Amino acid sequence: MTIPTIKLNDGNRIPQIGLGLWQNKDKSEFDAAFTAAIKAGYTHFDSAQAYDNEQFLGAAMQNQKREDLFVTTKIAVQHFGYNNAQKTFQESLKKLQTDYVDLLLLHFPVPILRKKSWLALEEIKKTGGAKSIGVSNYTVKHLEEMKQYASVMPGVNQVELHVFLQQPELLEYCAANNIVVEAYSPLAHAKDMDNQVVADIAAKHQKSYAQIMLRWCLQKGLVVLPKSVTPSRIQENMNIFDFELDAKDMQQLAAQDRDLRTCWSPVHVP
């Protein structure tokens, strides 16, 4: 099966589904998840310095053709700053056992240091260390501020986004500014797995509750990053390309938005 891709503002393409690697810190569990993901057809893997598993991904990737994979990592908040970001990125490359990443993100809009850190990412992109660069957890305010200092705007903004946290204003802004939105925690950390509307739509399509939530993200034009270490779930999360939610489904799901945040919130970050 060929995974659909979305074109970024620099011309590169990103697979529309990726395996989220947050909290995946046990090597044998990691290896089993990676093997299951490759078997299921995943090519896109989303890591970060803060996840403490870049070295596991680097080792696992050695049995694959590097050019067939799409690898993301993120600069951790404690490594922000121009020199610091560049230095720690080199350490990330060593752990990942590769000379480039497909996507490099700033993990959070850290006050004061985010400007210098972005300039470091621009330099890394220029010299080929990252094919594309972007940000994570940025609000409209943070993205708008970037126009004052960025030579290139981010290709991606990775944020918490799901049926219960739809962020329409942010989606509209990113679409207007040619920034692709990646949805992390697309299953809302299982915080609301008994919503009747989602359950009814799942029954109608003979799909699981999780598959409906993931399919909604796809149809909103998002890149979706479900996280799992369970091989059967990893496979199930990939089986979302063989059906479509109709206009009524999408309308009903739109009404489920209730601003449910399950992760760190950037809303009050100046």
Model pLDDT for residues 135-157, shown as the tens digit of each residue: 999 999 999 999 999 999 999 99
Average pLDDT over residues 99-114: 97
Range of weakest confidence among 7-16, 21-30, 86-95, 128-137: 21-30
For 179, list phi and psi in degrees, rounded to 5: -115, 125
CA-CA distance, 114 to 149, in Å (whole number)? 10
Q: Which residues contact 63 (CB under 8 A, 6 or more apart)?
A: none
The pLDDT-based confidence of 233 (bands split at 50, 70, 90) is very high
**Mean pLDDT rounded to a whole number for the chain:** 96
- The tens digit of pLDDT for each residue in 53-103 reads 999 999 999 999 999 999 999 999 999 999 999 999 999 999 999 999 999
Place of tokens 């943070």: 142
Helical H segments across the chain, by residue range: 27-40, 54-61, 82-96, 114-126, 140-146, 168-176, 196-205, 209-219, 231-238, 247-254
Indicate which residues carry an active-site annotation.
51
Instruction: Give the Cβ contact number of residue 112 at 10 Å.
Output: 10
The pLDDT-based confidence of 260 (bands split at 50, 70, 90) is confident
CA-CA distance, 258 to 268, in Å (whole number)? 18
pLDDT of residue 267: 82
- Domains of the chain (ranges; CATH) run 5-191+222-242 (3.20.20.100)
Q: Does pLDDT of 261 surpass 90?
A: no
pLDDT of residue 194: 86
